[in-house]
Structure 1
Amino acid sequence: MEKAGRRAWGALAVLVLPVLLISVDMTVLGFALPYLSEALAPTGTEQLWIVDIYSFVLAGLLVFMGTLGDRIGRRKLLLGGAVAFGAASVLAAFATTPALLITARALLGVGGATLMPSTLSLLRSIFLDPAQRRVAIAVWGSGFSGGMALGPVLGGWLLEHFWWGSVFLINVPVMLVLLAVGPFLLPEAKDPNPGRFDPLSSLLSLATVLPIVYGIKRFAEHGVDAIAAAGVVVGALLGVLFVRRQRGLADPMIDVSLFRHRAFTGSVLTNMLGVFALAGSLFLVPQYLQLVLGLAPMTAGLWLLPTTVAGVAGSLAAARLARRVPVAYLIAGGLLLSAGGFTVLVALGVDDGLAVLVIGTALIGFGVPLSETLTNDLIIATAPPERAGAASAISETGYELGGALGTAVLGSIATAVYRAGVPGDAGPVARETLGGATAVAAELPPDHAASLLAAARESFVAGMHVSAVVGALLLAYTAVQALVLLRERRARPGTPAPSSAR
């Protein structure tokens, strides 16, 4: 097997940039939420949409973009997406209303959908040696954790010196670097025989994801109602039509036979559920640090550095440990470690939770990236090289869908508990979000302000406790699922899945 040279490792550094950027973007948004609440006064639902819409649009378009990259060239798609992502970032930075910011975040999702499958599929074509590819994917995965370190510190500094929109302008220089260096270091890669393009399949893939996501989101916020049920049912029915159409096409958008491999299916499901839990915690933790404990943004970011270091360590440790430990046991072990981290978070207090927070999030930060690195390698190794873009898109769809649903469901659970604990006479703004309660308290007499803030902070922490219990149970289940679906795979990551795997 041909070994990758110096140019390939330089290309890896370029491919980490979009990953780093998306991770930064996710993290700084969480730290900017209190400032968004004060400047734009979004409702609780609008605030969740500001966070969620990016991942929802991205998840809906990933399959289409992955297939498009296989057809027109993955480097070409990556560089074109960088232009779109940078332009949408400028629009988000200068948004003046919640609706405009939601629109800009949706456009960021369109640009982001071109970035993620392109980076992972290019790794498949650049690193042909299985061992090197496993290391490359570990480095690629550590970019997410690296972004978690850079995002809070850089974002915190920007929030302390500039307006909230400045956090989105971080994206612009990174995209410019990618556009300047990418054409020289990244090779072009695509399917030499892509077959006919099917527009209906593209529409069906988007129409499947969005109604399901909307229905689950509405269910999490309002309980069971006709609209939520209709969204899930309509999306599921369209999904059945999509799968049937793929089976009947000579040149399908997605090779559904990939799901016959237990390694592929199990890895996609594990990715989705692991990120579901991780994203839910990322949504709540920055608000806890700033609005409950009263830390400045940059100080709050520094307290998350141990979590980030643990994430980088988990990604890199995965490649080394996989040489000696069966992959299924490694993945399950990482998930159980993260479940333990969520269990620790149940002990969070209103006044003295820093040590608990650092320990709990560090355990989560180590375990989830460890499992994600190995499952991503299994997904890429299972797919044929010419379908690397589509396979990467499926992986990233699960990842982004899990992240969006984690924010929506766990965030909504925490919000429901919060609303139940805030006095009814506090007003609708205070009962929507903790940021809203903080803003309302600033206009009240000291005694009333202290009473409202105490109730709001206690309710917010109670919501975090409930979300942590849900996260722990979910990750424990996911660990068992990984053992069941992946334990029959005897080969290490980086080798093709056996055709008999079912």
Structure 2
Amino acid sequence: MSSDIRKHAGPREWGALVVLTLAVGLIAIDGTVLGLAVPALSADLKPTATQILWIGDIYSFVIAGLLVTMGNVADLIGRKRLLLIGSVGFGLASVLAAYSQSAEMLIAARVLLGVSGATLMPSTLSLIRNIFTVPKERTRAIAVWSVGATAGSALGPLVGGALLEHFWWGSVFLINVPVMLVLVIFGAWLLPESKNPNAQPLDFISSLLSIVAIVPIIYVMKQLFGRGLSPVLVPLLLIGLLAGWAFVRRQKRLPVPLVDITLFKIPAFSGAIFSNMIAIFAFSGLLFFFSQYLQLVRGFSPLQAGLAELPLTIAAITVVFLIGFFMRSLGLGRSIAVGLWLGGIGLFALAVAEGLSDYVWMAAVLVVIGLGVGVASTLSTDAVVGSVPRERAGAASSVSETAFELGVALGIAVLGSLQTVFYRAHLVVPEGTPKGAADALNESLATADGVLHGQGGGAEALLEMARAAFTDAMQFTSVIAGVITLVAGFIAWKLIPSSVDDITGPVEVVSEEQG
């Protein structure tokens, strides 16, 4: 830890935290708000099943690919400046997305949203690292920030549901515009400027290598799980792996690297990064298809579906008040592990609840999932941020947020593709079904609902069959996500120490709060 002068936060600092939490919350909302809009935009834009997945996850793909670069740009030109530039870009891209006339146009708009989001996220966490210099206040601030990220993801369906109840699907993007105006106005007033005084010019080769390493590998995983192995995937995977190897090799030689590779030699750091990524992987993958399940299978309206997911939000918010209890009782590593185990158990229980007619069981399960993911995400983020000197806050924050966005992108891509695979495996289209209806059924439940809904008779019977196949697929996907999350909990228990004597940096931060 650096020997920084510590000053207690005042009203201005806590006001700045509200602005930063608003920013990350809006980015998180934009990652999940689209789930509820899929049925409506499917009816309007007629996307294929693959395009639906791209609309959902290209946003996180782009953010994940650019975060490492943008974290260093923030260190170089100033975190406040980059945040304000990104806010304006985010608002403009939101307008473009709202008025998209085709699936391809919407995908392009989501790319621009991802570019803007990548400029926002590193600035939020690194500014917190610089604004809150007293460890226990920083821990509390990061807990609030984490609630913004986690609860934002959970609030997305509720916000989307309320809008879709009265407006067209593009409204889920237009809501970003007034929020971004508030962010720019109050951010310019409340946020202090900070940058790395020793920052070196951006290494464009490293930046390019990081993008070439991340994006092809995610694409390969998405296609592999969704459509199986094809000849083009092998060279793409090799390109990604080769770029990753070259990136790591280059970072070891640079005096000021984009990513300090030596940090990953610290078990607590690498364990925290991995834990955060897995927690968000399960959480985001669940939310993207769960919103469709509630509407297309349970028959909820968009607003009802958003309200049905509210227990996730409530559980995420309560994490702020429970972090101290977890730390006093278990310490850092064990708390993260227990959070992941709670999330994993909740995912197993969700697979059961999806087959039950009573919603109350599902609500209870969502509370468990939200609490577990919230605890694991908050403490792993604090572990990462507290371990670096303030002047490298942007670059270190970008590592944590890259893991977060990789978790979102992989969650939608991998679990979403598995959901599609299982849906088609459980779907048996009767012989004699008209080709148009058969193609719609095999494409996705959202497509089938758009084609067959309201036609009555045999069409409704076909839809019931598709809903049953979708439910079976959700149950299988939930179990797989649960297994992955439980395994991540064991890894966190093993890698992340819980004793103050075994950890420098992050645990000293949290322990001081408890002391």
Q: How does 1:22-421 map to 2 (within 5 A)?
A: 22-148=27-153, 150-349=155-354, 352=357, 354-421=359-426
Q: For the structure 1 residues 201 and 47, does the alpha-carbon distance in structure 2 shift closer, same or farther, using more than 3 Å as the test?
A: same
CA contact (8 A) 2:346 2:366 kept: yes
TM-score, scaled relative to structure 1: 0.95
Equivalent residue letter for 1:37 = S
Equivalent residue letter for 2:442 = R
CA distance, structure 2, for counterparts of residue 98 and residue 397 of structure 1: 26
CA distance, structure 2, for counterparts of residue 367 and residue 13 of structure 1: 24
CA contact (8 A) 1:138 1:319 kept: no
The count of aligned residue pairs is: 497
Equivalent residue letter for 2:106 = L
CA distance, structure 2, for counterparts of residue 159 and residue 488 of structure 1: 45
CA distance, structure 2, for counterparts of residue 404 and residue 227 of structure 1: 21
CA distance, structure 2, for counterparts of residue 147 and residue 61 of structure 1: 21
1:346 offset after TM fit, Å? 1.6
CA contact (8 A) 1:70 1:190 kept: yes
Identity of aligned residues (%): 46
1:5 offset after TM fit, Å? 1.6
CA contact (8 A) 1:50 1:102 kept: yes
Could you tell me which runs of 5 or more consecutive residues in structure 2 were left unpaired when the two chains were aligned.
1-5, 509-515
User: Counterpart of 1:322 in 2: which secondary structure?
Assistant: helix
CA contact (8 A) 1:381 1:493 kept: no
CA contact (8 A) 2:426 2:473 kept: no
CA contact (8 A) 2:330 2:498 kept: no
CA distance, structure 2, for counterparts of residue 491 and residue 18 of structure 1: 36
In the other structure, the counterpart of 1:429 is 440
Q: For the structure 1 residues 239 and 149, does the alpha-carbon distance in structure 2 shift closer, same or farther, using more than 3 Å as the test?
A: closer
CA contact (8 A) 1:267 1:482 kept: yes
In the other structure, the counterpart of 1:476 is 486
Equivalent residue letter for 1:261 = I
Equivalent residue letter for 2:183 = L
CA distance, structure 2, for counterparts of residue 256 and residue 229 of structure 1: 27
> 1:47-69: CA deviations, max 9, x gaps?
00000100000100000000000
1:422 offset after TM fit, Å? 2.6
In the other structure, the counterpart of 2:477 is 467
1:442 offset after TM fit, Å? 2.8
Matched, 1:486 2:491: no
Which residue, out of 440, 449, 457, partners 2:451?
Answer: 440
1:351 offset after TM fit, Å? 6.7
1:150 offset after TM fit, Å? 4.3
CA distance, structure 2, for counterparts of residue 380 and residue 214 of structure 1: 29
> 1:375-427: CA deviations, max 9, x gaps?
00010111121111111101111110111111111111111111123334442
> 1:86-135: CA deviations, max 9, x gaps?
00000000001000000000100000001111100111001111111110
Equivalent residue letter for 2:481 = G
Q: Which has the larger displacement, 272-281 or 347-356?
A: 347-356
Matched, 1:453 2:458: no
1:231 offset after TM fit, Å? 2.2
Equivalent residue letter for 1:307 = L
TM-score, scaled relative to structure 2: 0.93
CA distance, structure 1, for counterparts of residue 153 and residue 405 of structure 2: 16
CA distance, structure 2, for counterparts of residue 353 and residue 112 of structure 1: 38
Equivalent residue letter for 1:357 = M
Q: For the structure 1 residues 408 and 150, does the alpha-carbon distance in structure 2 shift closer, same or farther, using more than 3 Å as the test?
A: closer
CA distance, structure 1, for counterparts of residue 484 and residue 231 of structure 2: 27
Q: For the structure 1 residues 250 and 154, does the alpha-carbon distance in structure 2 shift closer, same or farther, using more than 3 Å as the test?
A: closer
Q: For the structure 1 residues 302 and 63, does the alpha-carbon distance in structure 2 shift closer, same or farther, using more than 3 Å as the test?
A: same
Q: For the structure 1 residues 159 and 492, does the alpha-carbon distance in structure 2 shift closer, same or farther, using more than 3 Å as the test?
A: farther
What is the aligned-residue RMSD (CA, Å)?
Answer: 1.8
CA contact (8 A) 2:76 2:201 kept: no
Equivalent residue letter for 2:123 = S
In the other structure, the counterpart of 1:17 is 22
Q: For the structure 1 residues 292 and 124, does the alpha-carbon distance in structure 2 shift closer, same or farther, using more than 3 Å as the test?
A: same
1:354 offset after TM fit, Å? 1.9
Equivalent residue letter for 2:488 = T
CA distance, structure 2, for counterparts of residue 326 and residue 73 of structure 1: 35
1:443 offset after TM fit, Å? 6.5
1:225 offset after TM fit, Å? 2.7
CA distance, structure 1, for counterparts of residue 58 and residue 220 of structure 2: 14
CA contact (8 A) 1:130 1:493 kept: no
